[in-house]
Structure 1
Amino acid sequence: MSDVKTAPDGLVPAAVLDAKGLSCPMPLLRTKKEIGKIKAGDILQIDGTDPGSRNDIPGWCTRSGHVYLGEKEQSGYMSFYVQKG
């Protein structure tokens, strides 16, 4: 997929959500809950294994006023980065 946005290096998340092993819609539901716990401008890192999150998280950010910073391939999972709007 050429439209995958790669997160920049050096991001420092305020919180990390472990959504590994969860399938749709749980990663997004947990993300919505967790983003409410951090301050505007802070970064939430979501670690997950559900391939649907590649579309779900950026789309949700667009609809809800948060900034999707991108993703990084890890060993066996993906990390997604969202800056709270």
Structure 2
Amino acid sequence: MAEKDDSVEIYDLRGLNCPLPVLKTKRKLRAMPPHALLRVETSDPLAAIDIPHFCAENGHTLIAIEALDRGHHFLIRKAG
């Protein structure tokens, strides 16, 4: 059985406003293999609503949300 690769790709979307963080996250995940990990960095306050909703609607696992002074970090595992 192949071992799962748990390396995390970081996607810096700071400085972009709604709806770009979700649209770019969607495009990035589409190009990644199943079960890949993606850490999305945003500064748009609406991403705290949009990214979790996007993950729930598309079957991706939102592993963690980290609120920062100037944004959020989201750790997402792509659906299989």
TM bucket by the smaller chain?
Answer: 0.7 to 0.9
* 1:26 and 2:26 are equivalent in the alignment: no
- Separation in 2, partners of 1:34, 1:53: 16
Q: What TM-score results when the alignment is normalised by the length of structure 2?
A: 0.82
Instruction: Report the equivalent of 1:35.
Output: 29
Correspondence for 2:57 among 38, 55, 63: 63
CA radius of gyration, larger in: 2
Unaligned runs of 5+ in 1: 1-10
User: Take 2:61 and 2:10, find their aligned partners in 1: how far apart are those partners?
Assistant: 16
Unaligned runs of 5+ in 2: 1-5
4+ long deviations beyond 3 Å: 73-77
Identity of aligned residues (%): 27
Instruction: Calculate the TM-score normalised by the size of structure 1.
Output: 0.77
The residue correspondences of 1:42-61 to structure 2 (distance < 5 A) are: 42-61=36-55
Deviations for 1:19-63, whole angstroms, at most 9, x for unmatched residues? Answer: 000000000000001001211111111011001111101111111
Number of residue pairs aligned between Structure 1 and Structure 2: 74
User: Is 2:45–2:71's contact at 8 Å kept on the other side of the alignment?
Assistant: no
